Amino acid sequence: ILEVPAGFSTPIVVTLTSNDFDTYLELIDIETGNLLDENDDISSLNLNSRLTVQPFDFGFVLIRVTTAFEFETGSFSLETRPE
């Protein structure tokens, strides 16, 4: 769960990487369960995932780490940083 504080003015970049599977990243509103954003591949040559959380989306959001295909498993790294 990521908390984006009210008054935070810089977008937050969320990056999911793995050498074991094709990553898929989802950003979910924790209060409503609505899907806010999703990303499969950063580019056609990069199967990792990246989303940018805008400052107006403040509150609590759930970052869901999953795979692009069923039954894929493995290690991954999740990074959050200001843009």
Percent of the chain topping pLDDT 70: 87
- The structure tokens 């979910």 sit at 28
Q: Which residues contact 12 (CB under 8 A, 6 or more apart)?
A: 2, 4, 52, 53, 80, 81, 82, 83
pLDDT per residue as tens digits for the range 49-68 = 999 987 765 567 788 999 99
Q: How confident is the model at residue 6 (pLDDT cuts 50, 70, 90)?
A: low
